[in-house]
Structure 1
Amino acid sequence: MKGLDAHLVVRRGSFTLDLELAVAPGEVVALLGPNGAGKSTALRALAGLVPSSGGHVRVDGADLRPLPPERRGIGMVFQDYLLFPHLSALENVAFGPRSQGAGRREARRRAAAWLERVGLADRASERPRALSGGQAQRVALARALAVEPRLLLLDEPLSALDAHTRLTIRAALRRHLAGFEGAAVLVTHDPLDAMVLSDRLVVVEDGRLVQQGPPAEVARRPRTDYVARLVGLNLYRGRASGGTVTLHESAFALDSIEALEGEVFLAFAPSAVALYRTRPDGSPRNVWRAAVSAIERQGDRVRVQLDGSGITAAADVTPGAVAELQLAEGSEVWAAVKAAETHAYPA
């Protein structure tokens, strides 16, 4: 099999990572999950930096598990880049080819070519302390790619950057990944990085795969609370019958085009939730009474957390609505969601 074919088994105390992972040549897979889910452990197991308890790691059919990290031929970009402080940018990038047996002149030639590709030819003689965060990230990427790896691993490659630099470097990284012919695995906590940089998301919780698929599909049909929060949706599990979904004490009406039966997920966006001081009249078919448990400003909107009738939900409203409805923690309100704003799919 071309690309990456891995079954990662790592046991550490009471925690066990058991993850099957396949990545095709030219594909970028993002590993997502809450803290402690096993994402970085998976990446380090692929690199041979943590011992495996079983499974296999094959790249283009070659078994890498018996090999030490330096012989696996893997390119890796660490969260803190880990550039050699005493070497110039050129020498940092040349280190990989040199370790593979290339002569000094050939290694420097390849390093210069990669610095040119990442737009840093004019900083070749600079040491890491003289580089900005974005420049250091690009040197680390060039160093990883200079060994011509068939597998590229990236551990939170943008987390050390400020917001403005992150925007620019994210776009540049996407271009470089698009031109990479091997398999690439990215670990990130940022859903935007994952959505922009990857072709497929693999969501890990408690050391196990819980959901995978193209970013748009995962965002549209989350299957765990973590994924729902990540993509900004309210998510519930219930039973569909006759055009409604029963959730604990409440029943939600579905759009008339949805004909589902049995166990389903029900999702709707916080922006679809309307709040009222009194029970609303008119078109909303899904109405419930709730108490405000928290209020948080998010940009030009306000996120209101609701709890009531067995339903915990988030609602996004304007600051004007907060004032008009006199919202505060403990306030009693009515919440409503139109049937057309709900989305149900098989569990």
Structure 2
Amino acid sequence: MVRRGAFELDLVLTAGPGEVVALLGPNGAGKSTALRALAGLVPMSGGHIRLDGADLRPLPAERRGIGMVFQDYLLFPHLSVLENVAFGPRCRGAGRRAARERAARWLDRVGLAGFASARPRELSGGQAQRVALARALAVEPGLLLLDEPLAALDAHTRMEIRAALRRHLAGFEGAAVLVTHDPLDAMALADRIVVIEGGRLVQEGAPAEVARRPRTEYVARLVGLNLYRGRAEAGTVTVGGGTLDTVDSLDGEVFLTFAPSAVALYRSRPDGSPRNLWRARVAAVERLGDRARVRLSGPPFDAVAEVTPAAVAELDLSEGSLIWAAVKATETHVYPA
């Protein structure tokens, strides 16, 4: 447990050998605080941290046997790449020659053997990230902490380094905890995702399960789904002031989801009256690549639709427009709340 002013982080977090756990959550949820508490950089007000059976909480950061990769890498500007990587082993008691030999092996593993004598200012963002990773792994940690390790990279470099990081994490025998705001990084790198909001765990599971069955609005937005909580009875879910039909046969408190692409929009009431049909007002229209995202406001409920730019023009969609929205019952997915 960590208390910082009015904020309280109370989190039970486990990670097994060879497992990568991703911490996801909105800004201010406590992700980086959790990571820094594990590293010994933030004091805890209660609880414990155990690594291989040993309680780390009484130990200072430098004695915890933990490797950490920060968002801005924090390489020593006055040291060469080789000496940056050798710094950790030297701090753990290795001699100069042994530390440099270990550093050289790690630079070779991350593909930077030819940059041993370079200074950090001579590196690209992707190269600096790999040096920071090599420095963290060179101490042979039982726990590896990664705080937004890809956030400072451009999109192309991010893809390349994400793939390289995945390979290195696959070969890491210790536990790894990754903090990220990017769901793609979490889905690609993690074996398990832990979602925290307001300092509390709100959802946990394998990436595919979290993406398929979000349990909060934040997670639903993250994975791109419309999410509602309501009460199901005989194939109908009551949500706020409206109802949605589904083909799932559940009763009781449930979550209901559907993809924005499943929402069909009409300027006038469509023929045939689809089972899930409601009048909505356009709150916003956003261009996303070759698609457009249309935010709809209720009553009976808010929703997000995804259509083509041609449909935006054809339907004359703009803020304040009144339209009809429809979702097929077969496009909805219902699961217990």
TM-score (norm. length: structure 1): 0.96
Once residues 149 and 298 of structure 2 are traced to their aligned partners in structure 1, the CA distance between those partners, rounded to angstroms, is 41
How many Å separate the matches in 2 of 1:45 and 1:13?
15
Structure 2 counterpart of 1:211: 203
Q: Which amino acid aligns with 2:294?
A: V
State the alpha-carbon separation in 1 of the partners of residues 301 and 270 from structure 2.
18
- Cα deviation, 1:315-336, whole Å, max 9, x if unaligned, reads 0010110111111111000000
Alignment of 1:245-256 (within 5 A): 245-255=237-247
Q: Distance in 2 between matches of 1:251 and 1:96?
A: 59
- The aligned residue for residue 288 of structure 1 is 278
1:74 equivalent among 66, 91, 97: 66
Residue correspondence of structure 1 range 174-193 to structure 2 within 5 A: 174-193=166-185
What's the counterpart of residue 123 of structure 2? 131
1:237 aligns with 2:239: no
Contact residue 134 and residue 165 of structure 1 kept, 8 A: yes
Partner of 1:308: 298
Alignment pair present for 1:90 and 2:82: yes
Given the alignment of the two structures, is residue 321 of structure 1 paired with residue 333 of structure 2, yes or no? no
The residue aligned with 1:150 is: 142
Query: Deviations along 1:14-59, whole A, 9 cap, x unmatched?
Result: 1000000000000000000000000000000000000000100000
- Aligned amino acid, residue 309 of structure 1: P
SS in 1 for 2:257: strand
Secondary structure of the residue aligned to 1:54 is: coil
The structure with the largest strand share of the pair is: 1
Cα distance between partner residues in 1 of 2:112 and 2:310: 48
Q: C-alpha distance in 2, partners of 1:79/1:251?
A: 45
Question: Which secondary structure does the structure 1 equivalent of 2:277 belong to?
Answer: strand
Return the alpha-carbon distance in structure 1 between the equivalents of residues 322 and 262 of structure 2.
Answer: 19
| 1:263 pairs with one of 241, 247, 253 | 253
* Aligned 8 A contact 1:283 1:338 in 2: no
Which SS does the other structure have where 2:208 is aligned?
Answer: helix
1:108 is the counterpart of 2:84: no
Q: Distance in 1 between matches of 2:288 and 2:252?
A: 36
Which of 184, 188, 194 does residue 186 from structure 2 map onto? Answer: 194
Secondary structure, in 3 states, of the residue corresponding to 1:56? coil
SS class of match (2:68): strand
SS in 2 for 1:152: strand
Q: Secondary structure at the match of 1:311?
A: coil
Rounded to whole Å, the distance in 2 between the matches of 1:144 and 1:329 is 50
- Contact 1:236/1:267, CA 8 A, preserved across alignment: yes
TM-score, structure 2 normalization:
0.99
Unaligned runs of 5+ in 1: 1-8
Match of 2:157 in 1: 165
Is 1:44 the equivalent of 2:50?
no
Match of 1:336 among 299, 323, 326: 326
1:310 Cα deviation from its structure 2 partner = 2.5
Distance 1:75 1:284 in 2: 56
Secondary structure of 1:34's aligned partner: coil
CA distances 1:287-346 after superposition (whole Å, capped 9, x unpaired)? 000000101100100000001222110000101101111111110000000001000000
Map of 1:23 onto structure 2: 15
Q: Secondary structure at the match of 1:25?
A: coil
Deviation at 1:259, TM superposition (A): 1.2
Q: How many residues align?
A: 337
> In structure 2, what is the Cα distance between the partners aligned to 1:101 and 1:331?
69
- 1:115 Cα deviation (Å)? 0.2
**1:279 Cα deviation after fit:** 1.2
Deviation, 1:281, is 2.0
1:251 CA drift (Å): 1.1
Partner secondary structure for residue 152 of structure 2: coil
- Given residue 312 of structure 2, which amino acid in structure 1 is its aligned partner? V
In the TM superposition, residue 283 of structure 1 has moved relative to its aligned partner by 6.9
Is this contact kept in 2: 1:288–1:308, CA < 8 A? no
Secondary structure at the counterpart of residue 70 of structure 1: helix
The alpha-carbon deviation at position 282 of structure 1 amounts to 2.9
SS at match of 1:85: coil
Q: What is the percent sequence identity of the aligned residues? A: 79
Q: Which runs of 5+ in 2 are unaligned?
A: none
Is residue 297 of structure 1 aligned with residue 320 of structure 2? no
Distance 1:102 1:232 in 2: 49
RMSD: 0.7
